[in-house]
């Protein structure tokens, strides 16, 4: 008989798995972590290459030469921005019109659920200005976007200037097969969200905006430019978008290819490339770059203005000019040449970018790890959960029961019923209560901010964040309270059934998360899987409780904040870290309501209740 259909063989297999369960789990965990760390090791990574045939090599002749004029336009823009105290709409419209574009504006307004302390805004009102360069001979079916943000103060003036300079240069060429949209958005991501929603006729976040008067066709690719200095020393590429979505790797390959051709220093995650991969420090560097990307992707927020394009299946990336203390400086003309080359190559595209990878990790700009190579790291961790569920099922004798239905059907049925019926009831209560707590964590902070401000001397943002933390810690006290509500049965079967349910639930949750956002799934798995695997009511309570709290989603977030600051080479003290943690929570809630980021709902509605279930198991009487 087959291995799984023969009851004797199956029993033997399950016995083997049950005996070896703990060592197997440990081995899997260590293997998963080692696999993840080994991803950045250079011989295991692949060199990036251009997959799209239509883009070919970098053989175009860049002729842009008006860098100085672009900088002058940038200075004019800055002066008018200061005078207008925001976006100088009239001047920008006139400037774009004089360069031969079709100019349109869009105004938008949004009231944030609570004031944003990082960017100091609450009721946001603004205008986007965009000009369309029509392709001379092509039908208006496809478009490319070049955008620069209009930031308060003195940042990103040169970006707008370069945008205007490029617009003027592009207007004189006849080889454009797609329309090019030059967009200057106000209030960075909020303005970008309004523009994209208006362009695609969707309204997912409750923003109010005026409809767009001019349109250019379906957008094939978008580049966002951030340039705040006249000369730069390096260009940083930002890829991570909303909910951890990444643009097609070909866009990064295109950027890298042109950087090499023109001779501009290019970085990713702000880190330079190194060639000494066989040394420990080289490997260290690659691991740091990859970990930064993992943390940024896991946060689920768009790290540049491009991040919102990805949701509409538009490949987009942001380029940030960095001016540090280096001897070799690149001027605006060279940056303009790089953009010209990239746009000419994107112009050659016949279809959307789809030949290269959509899921990847970049330990450096020239090396990548594709989903086929990094997924086993997560599956090894998920395997632990499956092994544990097998043990639980075996302990519940469910496996054996299902295997021998012939032997005493009546007794068997009765037994099963006896086993499951208290099980179902006792499981349902903790599940429902945990999820209700999750719902409270999701809705109450914003709803109750007024009440909190009345009674406590805190600002609205602090009220929201502190309410969230309060509900989170209140959940820790649940087991003591729910046990009074329960029918008083703290049976062995009860917690085993609950554990089985919790482990399977966690496995499904983490699996789905890892498919969409591998980094988030992996980080959550790293902390939650050991908890789920080893929690029982019989372990030493206090020690386990402390460990569980340390490995809970909230503390994971705190730890990630510290690790992120370390990797950025800007380590913070405990207090500063705590403040960053609070602002991270508020940003997460804001991102969810402004752009539809899914991190906060996922954590509060699904992951936190799951963790509460495990917490319930720990305190099972």
Residues that bind another protein (CB under 8 A): 53-54, 56-57, 59-61, 135-138, 173-177, 344-345, 347-348, 350
Shortest CB 59 distance to another protein, Å: 4
| 520 contacts 607 by C-beta, under 8 angstroms | no
Tokens of 355: 């030949």
| 11 contacts 511 by C-beta, under 8 angstroms | no
Q: Where are the beta strands (DSSP E) in 199-350?
A: 208-209, 218-226, 234-238, 266-268, 315-322
Nearer to another protein, 190 or 346 (CB): 346
Nearer to another protein, 141 or 418 (CB): 141
Bridge partner list, 183: 130, 147
Query: 596: phi > 0 → left, psi -120 to 50 → alpha, else beta; which?
Result: left
Nearer to another protein, 179 or 240 (CB): 179
Of 549, 615, 546, 553, which Cα lies nearest the Cα of 584?
553
Shortest CB 193 distance to another protein, Å: 32
The alpha carbon of residue 278 and the mean position of all alpha carbons in its chain are separated, in whole angstroms, by: 31
Nearer to another protein, 173 or 448 (CB): 173
Query: 46: phi > 0 → left, psi -120 to 50 → alpha, else beta; which?
Result: beta
Shortest CB 348 distance to another protein, Å: 6
Shortest CB 179 distance to another protein, Å: 11
Q: Where are the beta strands (DSSP E) in 117-262?
A: 121-133, 142-150, 179-186, 208-209, 218-226, 234-238
Nearer to another protein, 54 or 436 (CB): 54
Of 186, 180, 154, which Cα lies nearest the Cα of 168?
180
Nearer to another protein, 258 or 283 (CB): 258
Nearer to another protein, 133 or 291 (CB): 133
Tokens of 27: 């081995």
Residue 126 phi/psi, 5-degree rounding, is -160, 180
Shortest CB 218 distance to another protein, Å: 16
DSSP string, 69-135: HHHHHHHHHHHHHHHHTS--HHHHHHHHHHTT-EEEEEEEEEEEEEEETTTTEEEEEEEEEEEEE--
DSSP string, 356-398: S-SSEEEEETTEEEEHHHHHHHHHHHHHHHHHHHHHHHHHTTH
Shortest CB 62 distance to another protein, Å: 9
Tokens of 493: 């079967």
Shortest CB 352 distance to another protein, Å: 15
Nearer to another protein, 356 or 391 (CB): 356
Shortest CB 63 distance to another protein, Å: 9
Nearer to another protein, 134 or 311 (CB): 134
Nearer to another protein, 60 or 393 (CB): 60
Nearer to another protein, 78 or 220 (CB): 220
Nearer to another protein, 78 or 347 (CB): 347
CA angle centred on 549, ends 545 and 554, rounded to 5°: 165
Shortest CB 526 distance to another protein, Å: 45
Of 531, 529, 561, which Cα lies nearest the Cα of 545?
531
From the DSSP assignment, how many helices (H) and strands (E) are in the chain? 22, 12
What is the spatial distance between Cα 69 and Cα 65, in angstroms, rounded to a whole number?
9
Q: Which residues have a Cβ under 8 Å from the Cβ of 16 and sit 6 or more positions away?
A: none
Shortest CB 142 distance to another protein, Å: 10
Nearer to another protein, 311 or 344 (CB): 344
**For every residue of 388-424, which 3-state class applies, written as one string?**
HHHHHHHHCCHHHHHHCCCCCHHHHHHHHHHHHHHHH
Nearer to another protein, 56 or 372 (CB): 56
Shortest CB 55 distance to another protein, Å: 8
Shortest CB 98 distance to another protein, Å: 25
Shortest CB 180 distance to another protein, Å: 13
Residue 549 CB neighbours (<10 A): 14
Tokens of 609: 């209740």
Shortest CB 347 distance to another protein, Å: 6
Helix (H) or strand (E) holding 298: helix 280-299
């Amino acid at each position: 008989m087959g291995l799984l259909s023969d009851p004797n063989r199956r029993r033997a297999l399950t016995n083997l798995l049950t005996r070896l369960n703990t060592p197997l789990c440990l081995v899997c965990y260590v293997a998963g972590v080692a696999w993840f760390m080994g991803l950045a090791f250079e011989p295991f990574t692949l060199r990036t290459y251009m997959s799209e045939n239509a883009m070919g090599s970098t053989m175009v002749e860049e002729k842009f030469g008006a860098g100085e004029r672009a900088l002058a336009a940038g200075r004019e823009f800055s002066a008018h921005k200061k005078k207008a105290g925001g976006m100088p709409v009239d001047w920008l419209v006139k400037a774009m019109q004089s360069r031969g574009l079709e100019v349109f504006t869009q105004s938008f307004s949004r009231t944030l659920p609570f004031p944003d302390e990082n960017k100091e805004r609450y009721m946001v009102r603004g205008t986007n200005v965009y000009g369309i360069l029509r392709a001379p001979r092509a039908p208006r079916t496809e478009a490319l976007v070049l955008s620069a943000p209009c930031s308060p103060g003195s940042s990103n003036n040169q970006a707008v200037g370069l945008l205007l300079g490029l617009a003027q240069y592009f207007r004189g060429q006849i080889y454009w097969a797609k329309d090019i949209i030059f967009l200057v958005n106000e209030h960075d991501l909020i303005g970008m969200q309004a523009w994209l929603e208006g362009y695609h006729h969707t309204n997912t976040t409750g923003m109010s905006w005026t409809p767009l008067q001019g349109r250019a066709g379906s957008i094939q690719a978008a580049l966002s430019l951030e340039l705040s200095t006249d000369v730069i020393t390096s260009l940083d590429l930002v890829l991570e978008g909303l909910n951890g979505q990444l643009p097609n790797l070909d866009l990064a390959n295109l950027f890298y290819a042109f950087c090499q051709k023109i001779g501009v220093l290019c970085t990713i995650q702000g880190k330079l490339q190194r060639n000494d991969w066989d040394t420990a420090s080289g490997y260290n560097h690659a691991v740091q770059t990859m970990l930064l990307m993992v943390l940024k992707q896991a946060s689920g927020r768009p790290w540049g203005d491009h991040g919102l394009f990805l949701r509409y299946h538009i490949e987009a990336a942001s380029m940030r000019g960095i001016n540090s203390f280096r001897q070799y400086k690149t001027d605006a003309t060279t940056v303009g040449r790089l953009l010209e080359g990239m746009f000419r190559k994107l112009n050659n595209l016949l279809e959307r970018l789809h030949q290269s990878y959509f899921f990847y990790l970049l330990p450096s700009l020239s090396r990548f790890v594709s989903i086929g190579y990094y997924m086993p790291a997560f599956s090894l961790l998920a395997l632990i959960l499956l092994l544990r569920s097998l043990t639980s099922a075996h302990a519940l004798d469910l496996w054996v029961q299902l295997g021998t239905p012939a032997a005493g059907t009546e007794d068997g049925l009765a037994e099963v019923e006896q086993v499951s019926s208290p099980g179902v009831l006792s499981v349902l209560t903790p599940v429902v209560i945990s999820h209700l707590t999750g719902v409270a964590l999701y809705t109450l902070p914003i709803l109750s901010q007024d009440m909190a401000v009345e009674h406590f001397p805190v600002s609205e943002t602090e009220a929201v964040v502190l309410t969230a933390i309060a509900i989170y810690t209140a959940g820790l006290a649940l087991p003591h309270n729910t046990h009074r509500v329960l029918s008083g049965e703290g049976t062995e079967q009860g917690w085993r059934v609950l554990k089985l349910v919790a482990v399977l639930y966690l496995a499904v949750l983490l699996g789905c998360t890892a498919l969409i956002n591998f980094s988030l799934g992996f980080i959550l798995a790293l902390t939650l899987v050991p908890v789920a695997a080893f929690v029982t009511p019989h372990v030493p309570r206090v020690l386990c409780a402390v460990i569980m709290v340390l490995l809970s989603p909230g503390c994971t977030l705190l730890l990630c904040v510290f690790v992120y600051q370390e990797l950025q080479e800007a380590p913070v003290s405990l207090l500063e870290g705590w403040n960053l943690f609070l602002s991270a929570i508020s940003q997460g809630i804001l991102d969810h309501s402004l752009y539809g980021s899914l991190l906060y709902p996922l954590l509060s509605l699904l992951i936190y209740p799951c963790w509460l279930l495990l917490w319930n198991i720990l305190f099972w009487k």
